[in-house]
Each structure stands twice: as C-alpha cells, then as structure tokens.
Amino acid sequence: MTLASSRLNADLHCHSAVSDGTLQPESLAARAKANGVELWALTDHDELGGQERAMAAALDLGLPYLTGTEISVTFLDITVHIVGLGFDAANAALNAGLAATRGGRRQRAMDMSDALAKAGIHGAYEGALKYVCNPDLISRTHFARHLVESRVCGDTQEVFRRYLVDGKPGYVPHRWATLRDAVRWITEAGGIAVIAHPGRYKLSANEEFALFSEFRAHGGEAVEVVTGSHNAGHFVKYTEMAREFDLYASRGADFHSPEESHVDLGTLPDLSASLTPVWEALKDRVHRPG
Ligand code: AMP
Ligand code: MN
Ligand code: MN
Ligand code: MN
C-alpha cells in the first residue's frame, strides 16, 4: 500500500497524558500499531511535550510518524480546534505560540473551581489536579474525571452536559489563540493546518462558511472529514465541504482514553476516494522507521 492511497490506515488525531488523554505516548504508539495504524500522529492540545517520545516509540515499532498538535482557537466567540501536522517541532515561533496559548489554563481552572463551588461543588481544582500529568495543561477533561470519580455524575459526557459547557455553572469563557496566528504558527513551521472536527461547532451556515473561508485565506489547507467526533452525516457533509473549499482531507479518532473514548485508534471508516488525503501533501514530512 502506498501513502497516496485514501485507504491507508492513517490516524492523525489523538491525545496522551501530556494533555488530556490517559495513556502515555509509548502506550498510544503500541495501541496504534496493534490496531493496524499505518501512519500516526500524536496531537496533544497546545503542547509538543510528547512529540519526541511518541516519535521514538512509533519508529521503534516500525510505525511511520507525523508531528502533531491541536491548537485551541477563539473564532466568533466560540472555541475551534486547529490541528497541525508535519511541522518542525523545534520551531521557535510555534513553541512560543503554544506556550502563550496554554498560559492561561491554570487561572481558568481556578476560576472554574470557584464557579463550581458556587454551584455547591467544592474542591474541584484540587480534585482535577489529581488527574493532571502536565501541570501546564489542566483542561476541562480533568475536571470531568474528578466529578465522575466523586460521583457527581455518571460519566464524563454528563459532566460536560451539566457543568462544563457554555451556559452551565462551571463554564468559564476563555480567549485562546486567533485563527490567523494558529494557522501561521503551523504553516511557518513547515506543517499543514487542519480544521478539527468541524461538525462539533455550533455555527450557523454563514459562520461556518466564514470559518472555512478565513482559514483558507490564512493558509490553512486541510479539514478533518472522518473523525471520532463525526457521525455518518458529517462524513458526507464535510466530504462535500472539503471539495468545495479545495482542502485536503484528514482522518483521526481523537482518542483520549480506553475508558472514555467511543472510537479507538485506527478503527474509523476510510476517507472517500473522491478526496485527496492530507498525507499525500505531507509525504516529505513523514518520519519513517530506519
Ligand atoms: P479544554 O481545552 O480545557 O476546554 O477542554 C476541551 C476538551 O474537553 C476536548 O478536547 C475534549 O477532550 C473534552 N470535551 C469537550 N466537550 C466534551 C464533551 N461534550 N464530552 C466529553 N468531552 C468533551
Ligand atoms: Mn481533549
Ligand atoms: Mn478537539
Ligand atoms: Mn482532540
């Protein structure tokens, strides 16, 4: 099988304990390999701290690897995620941009804890910290794990629905990177920017058109079509959007944890053969086993 194939089992979106996943990069590499993944990228939120370990583990297993991250962006007052793939992980501007983006997370977490306390849930910051491996990267997911463990909710989905999304008691608005900066940091480091799971954003058709148009204007070149966050209707819709906006297509489970994630690494359907996979444009950026 060649890299050009839309049938390559590429999984280019997942999280380790370096952000809000529960597995270490080495375990994820082994899981990807065991599940038949043929090209892999670890895409921790706003963070490159797991890249060297992920790449070393992948190459040891004979698994080709692309560098990755998932940048938190504020667009039209909502949070949008932009995945970066195939960049130089040592790029100074990218590293500085990611450090600035994750910089406000600790204060935000303390504010979330105060907000939850007003709703009668006390000690959530300390509780969430028990699940945090990287002190720079405390996320809503860590709060969700704590609220499940302390039996406030039955599962993490319920925590988000009842407490952690806009309009709910533990939600604290936050300003992340701009779309323009995120796309630039990735592309100027030699990578390709990808709109992550567009089906998840609560945007009107006009707002979604603005997201795709502005993303393209800033130099973004790809969109996730097949992801664990999309249903079959989204696969069809974003196949059409990728073609309309002349974007490469990406595929990735967005795997976080064996206990929480419904879609495992390497188990999604293939991209439509009518699309050009993003890995065709990244051939020269793939790290291959020696
Ligand atoms: P944060 O970057 O701290 O805002 O946390 C965002 C993360 O929370 C996402 O990357 C997901 O891992 C997780 N998340 C967001 N919404 C949900 C949801 N409805 N159910 C479960 N996890 C979610
Ligand atoms: Mn996450
Ligand atoms: Mn995301
Ligand atoms: Mn993700």
Give the phi and the psi of residue 160 in degrees, each rounded to 5: -60, -50
Looking at the CA of 196, which ligand is closest?
3
Question: 42, exposed or middle or buried, with CB in 10 Å at 0-12, 13-18, 19+?
Answer: buried
- What does the pLDDT look like over 22-63, one tens digit per residue? 999 999 999 999 999 999 999 999 999 999 999 999 999 999
Question: pLDDT-derived band of residue 145, with 50, 70 and 90 as boundaries?
Answer: very high
Amino acid at 2: T
Q: In the structure encoding, which two tokens stand for residue 195, read together? A: 């709109």
Residue 67 has pLDDT above 50, yes or no: yes
3 state SS of 189: coil
Q: What's the mean pLDDT in 216-220?
A: 98
pTM for the model: 0.97
Q: Which residues contact 246 (CB under 8 A, 6 or more apart)?
A: 216
Cα 217 to its chain centre, rounded Å, is 22
Residue 1 has pLDDT above 70, yes or no: no
Question: pLDDT-derived band of residue 4, with 50, 70 and 90 as boundaries?
Answer: low
Q: What's the mean pLDDT in 216-228?
A: 98
45 pocket-lining for ligand 1 (C-beta < 6 Å): yes
Q: Which residues contact 204 (CB under 8 A, 6 or more apart)?
A: none
Residue 246 has pLDDT above 50, yes or no: yes
Protein residues placing their CB within 5 Å of the ion ligand 2 = 20
Q: Which one of 20, 43, 137, 146 would you pick to mutate in the ligand 1 pocket, going by the greatest count of ligand atoms within 8 A of its CB?
A: 20
